[in-house]
Amino acid sequence: MKFRMVHENYNVKDLDKSLAFYKEALGLTEKRRMVADDGSFIIVYVGNEESDFELELTWLRDWDRPYNLGDNEFHLAFVTDEYDKAYEKHKQMGCICYENPSMGIYFINDPDGYWLEIVPARK
């Protein structure tokens, strides 16, 4: 049996804010969306041309508090061939939450506190 990863879900409190963040920080744009007939949820899949993998952002109408991410010991990783440029952009955005210079990586967090690892392309 073979399996191919296709998406990961993050629940978000403010869908518009999250969509704007992912577009500005990582260049991810909306690929498709599903809206519940009763308006109770909206699911938006974001991605880019670099990969078929998508991030599913789920907004729940009746959710009234920040999501509990526990110890937040999970993350998605993104590779870039413009690491220094990405670092400067994320620094200006104020979203860098952790740096590990010895590993040559850093993390940003989205509006809901999810961590996203930024890794330089290794040649």
pLDDT tens, residue order, the chain (123 aa) = 998 999 999 999 999 999 999 999 999 999 999 999 999 999 999 999 999 999 999 999 999 999 999 988 889 999 999 999 999 999 999 999 999 999 999 999 999 999 999 999 986
User: Which residue range forms the structural domain that includes residue 109?
Assistant: 7-62+74-120
Contact 120, 106 (CB under 8 A): no
Residue 69 lies in a domain: no
CA 13 remoteness from chain centre: 14
The one-letter code for the residue type at 37 is D
CATH number at residue 82: 3.10.180.10
In degrees and rounded to multiples of 5, residue 24 shows phi and psi of -70, -45
Tally of domains within the chain? 1
pTM: 0.93
